[in-house]
Amino acid sequence: MRKLLQATAAIALMATAAGADTIKVGVVGPFSGSAALQGRNFQAGIEAWFALNGKTVGDHEIEIIYRDLPAADPAQSAALTQELVVGEGVQYLAGYYYTPDAMAAAPILEEANVPMVVFNAATSAIVNASPYVVRTSFTTWQTSTPMAAVARERGINKIITVVSDYGPGTDSETAFIKAFTDQGGEIVQSIRMPMSTTDFSPIMQRIKDSGAEAVFAFLPAGPQTLGFMQSYVENGLKESGVALLAPGDLTQESDLGALGPNAEGMLTTFHYAVSHDSPENKAFVEAATGWLGNANELSFPAVGAFDGMHVIAHMIEATGGEQDAAAAVESVKGLEWVSPRGPVSINPENRHITQNIYLREVAKEGESWINKEIQTFENQGDPGWVAP
Amino acid sequence: MQTILSIGADALAYGMVLFVISIGLSVTMGLMKVVNLAHGAFAMIGGYVASYVTQQMGLHFAVGTVAAVLFCVVLAFPMERLLFRRIYGAPELIQVLMTIGITFIIIGIANWLMGPTLKTIALPDSLRGPVDIGFRTIAAHKIFAAAVGGAVALGLWYLIERTSFGIKLRASVDDTAMAGALGIRTKIVYSVSFAIAIGLAALGGVVGAQLLPIEPYYALHYMVTFLVVVSVGGAGSIPGALVACLLLGAVKTTGSYLWPEFGNFFFYLAVIAIVSVFPNGLMGRAK
């Protein structure tokens, strides 16, 4: 038995010694398929970080190994994650665009002795799935909650909620309703739309008939938002003064060009706007768009990936390149830094990022449309997180 | 009452958009007996061309529409000659495999050339914004789409039922050998019909782009919807496709007003009900 232990220890030592100069980071995300743009933003965030900080931490070189997961597919996510750990011997796992993918990969972490840095997946419960999960994106609860205060400040009493019928949609609905009714508002109706909806006119008719003063909406970033916003304008809701309030997923920068004047003046709450005015963001945007080649493709997953790389680099430094997931995760608890989105920190309790949430207005700047930040809700945690 | 009228107007508009895009597929499947799953891909190409012409080149919507249809028609001839002609009369499985393969290739190329973001088509001022039709406001482009749908239905019916080309097409489809023996150049007839079907797909892609936005996965997202229209209406029947579109449009719009959380449940329930009662579609010819 002792011999066996010694042998394993020796092999383990050799493995770490051999791997000391290159540290592999496995990144799982949608690099093809209908969400390929979000995957490209993961890459843009990582490449921007390399461009600004170099590919080495101390004398350890970081090597990224990408695995493509085009759609939410838990079984495939678990398989890819396992293959990265066993086949490629990665020391860190990162990426994960969809919640089910992150959930499916989480049980592997402890046994593999590998921390996971979630670049996007936004359901509060993910951090409870394993003590080795750290998240640098946002949660839908975090971005939706401040909108209730915004609505109340503007004297809105009656609201109808309209969300896409899937996890983040219902999260957003629950978060907003809780915050809004806590502050004395009234929810007149709640509608859940199927993900496949393309014709939103009947929904707009419902909104009109409900007598609400404003709509709180959540749809996933992408093609659907275009039809939704267009219907909102064409059915005369915008004209009749029914305000449209939403988290920033609806007005992600890569869709704004297409949404154009239909979204003008729309209020959203979110953690990151490409237009954020700070030297850190300027450097980030320049590096990320330099890699993307097209300034209009930059969107929020890139900043999640950029800060994720910051966290991973800190972990590598703290553990001296050794594979020690527990120490690595411990080292970033309470870590504070200035991200392109503003000052952020990792909450030691749930390993989720604490950050500013901004109220933004869609506005035209020169020839292009931007999310213009007009109000800041400082140091927002995740109100949706419940201790396990 | 006002709500009912409103839903009726939405249903009509949605149905007509569906009709313009699907009717070309009804022609290829019903008359040419080709299960062309790449039909949506051609509608998407049309949308991309119109988007490029109106947004990048800044030309008028009408120019964009004509360019989209012409581009697809011109593209259709070599594709018909080199690819589709090989699968006329082949078993359905082979047709499905080949056309879905073409779809994936077109998606890949679209993603590579135009990028994964959604593209819009610039509308002229006359089609932009809401129009007051008495009891409500409705988008001008929806009225336009409904009008185009009506025009396409009439034009196509006239072409197939009343012109000598229509007679030749129907003859070639019913008995290619006999039609050939009577001096009809069936290959040309097939090429032209295929091109017309593709041109209609492109027109549908452009006119319907406000409801079904153009992005690389357009070709796959709406494939089922187009196939459903053809099977409910009866392959090859223009009035059938029209009735199917209006009926399904009404069911879908009413369903998503009253019970949005049920999603497409009522849509597919109606499809199942209709297909069980009319196995060949509402106005399909018995096999």
Give the pLDDT confidence score for residue A18 in this predicted structure. Answer: 43
The count of CB pairs under 8 A between chains A and B is 107
SS3 category, A363: strand
Whether the predicted pLDDT of A71 surpasses 80:
yes
Give the pLDDT confidence score for residue A9 in this predicted structure. Answer: 53
Chain A residues closer than 8 Å to B123 by CB: none
Q: How far is CA B227 from each of CA A67, B17, B46, B272, rounded to the nearest angstrom?
A: 34, 15, 19, 13
Query: What mean pLDDT do residues B175-199 have?
Result: 91
Whether the predicted pLDDT of A260 surpasses 90:
no
Q: Is B120 in Cβ contact with A260 (below 8 Å)?
A: yes
Query: For A262-292, how does the pLDDT look when each residue is reduced to its tens digit (9 = 90+)?
Result: 899 999 999 999 999 999 999 999 999 999 9
Q: Is A201 in Cβ contact with B260 (below 8 Å)?
A: no
Among the residue ranges A43-47, A345-349, B25-29, the one predicted with the least confidence is B25-29
Whether the predicted pLDDT of A5 surpasses 60:
no
Alpha-carbon distance of A130 to A118, in angstroms, equals: 12
Whether the predicted pLDDT of A37 surpasses 70:
yes
Give the pLDDT confidence score for residue A355 in this predicted structure. Answer: 97
Give the pLDDT confidence score for residue B210 in this predicted structure. Answer: 84
**Residue A269 dihedral angles phi and psi, to the nearest 5°:** -115, 135
Higher pLDDT, B264 or A139: A139
Query: For B63-110, how does the pLDDT look when each residue is reduced to its tens digit (9 = 90+)?
Result: 999 999 999 999 999 999 999 989 988 899 999 999 999 999 999 999
Give the pLDDT confidence score for residue A261 in this predicted structure. Answer: 84
pTM: 0.80
Nearest residue of B to residue A203, measured between CA atoms: B257
Whether the predicted pLDDT of A105 surpasses 80:
yes
Give the pLDDT confidence score for residue A17 in this predicted structure. Answer: 44
Alpha-carbon distance of A349 to B113, in angstroms, equals: 46
Among the residue ranges A9-13, B36-40, B94-98, the one predicted with the least confidence is A9-13
Query: What mean pLDDT do residues A249-271 have?
Result: 90
pLDDT category of residue A183 using cuts at 50, 70 and 90: very high
Residue A206 touches partner B, C-beta closer than 8 Å:
yes
Alpha-carbon distance of A243 to A213, in angstroms, equals: 7
Give the pLDDT confidence score for residue B287 in this predicted structure. Answer: 55
Among candidates B118, B263, B264 on the partner chain, residue whose Cβ is nearest the Cβ of A258: B118
Give the pLDDT confidence score for residue B284 in this predicted structure. Answer: 77
Using alpha carbons, select from B13, B26, B12 the residue that is nearest to residue B229.
Answer: B26
Q: Is A36 in Cβ contact with B117 (below 8 Å)?
A: no
Q: Residues B257, A205: contact at Cβ < 8 Å?
A: yes
Chain A residues closer than 8 Å to B115 by CB: 37, 294, 297
Whether the predicted pLDDT of B163 surpasses 90:
yes
Using alpha carbons, select from B260, B60, B87, B48 the residue that is nearest to residue A197.
Answer: B260
Nearest residue of B to residue A165, measured between CA atoms: B261
Domains of chain B: residue spans and CATH:
2-277 (1.10.3470)
Chain A residues closer than 8 Å to B251 by CB: none
User: Tokens standing for A168?
Assistant: 């983040």
pLDDT category of residue B30 using cuts at 50, 70 and 90: confident
Q: What spatial distance separates the first Cα and last Cα of chain B, rounded to whole Å?
A: 43
pLDDT category of residue A19 using cuts at 50, 70 and 90: very low
Q: How far is CA A249 from each of CA A109, A246, B78, rounded to the nearest angstrom?
A: 29, 8, 42
Q: Residues B274, B230: contact at Cβ < 8 Å?
A: no
Q: Residues A246, A214: contact at Cβ < 8 Å?
A: no
Query: What mean pLDDT do residues B106-132 have?
Result: 84
Query: What mean pLDDT do residues B37-44 have?
Result: 94
User: Among positive and negative, which fits the CA dihedral B206, B212, B215, B219?
Assistant: negative
pLDDT category of residue A135 using cuts at 50, 70 and 90: very high
Among the residue ranges B131-135, B200-204, B239-243, B280-284, the one predicted with the least confidence is B131-135
Q: Is B256 in Cβ contact with A227 (below 8 Å)?
A: no
Whether the predicted pLDDT of A62 surpasses 80:
yes
Q: Is A230 in Cβ contact with B139 (below 8 Å)?
A: yes
Q: Is B3 in Cβ contact with A34 (below 8 Å)?
A: no
Chain A residues closer than 8 Å to B257 by CB: 202-203, 205-206
Q: Is B130 in Cβ contact with A235 (below 8 Å)?
A: yes
ipTM > 0.85, yes or no:
no
Cα–chain center distance at B55? 23
Query: For A76-87, how does the pLDDT look when each residue is reduced to its tens digit (9 = 90+)?
Result: 999 999 999 999
Among candidates A33, A198, A209 on the partner chain, residue whose Cβ is nearest the Cβ of B212: A198
Q: Is A193 in Cβ contact with B116 (below 8 Å)?
A: no
Whether the predicted pLDDT of A4 surpasses 70:
no
Query: For A355-370, how does the pLDDT look when each residue is reduced to its tens digit (9 = 90+)?
Result: 999 999 999 998 889 9
Residues 6 or more apart from B265 whose CB is under 8 A from it?
Answer: B255, B259
Domains of chain A: residue spans and CATH:
2-138+277-351 (3.40.50.2300), 142-270+357-380 (3.40.50.2300)
Query: What mean pLDDT do residues B184-189 have?
Result: 90
Query: For A187-240, how does the pLDDT look when each residue is reduced to its tens digit (9 = 90+)?
Result: 999 999 988 788 898 899 999 999 999 999 999 887 788 889 988 988 889 888
Residue B253 touches partner A, C-beta closer than 8 Å:
yes
Whether the predicted pLDDT of A2 surpasses 80:
no
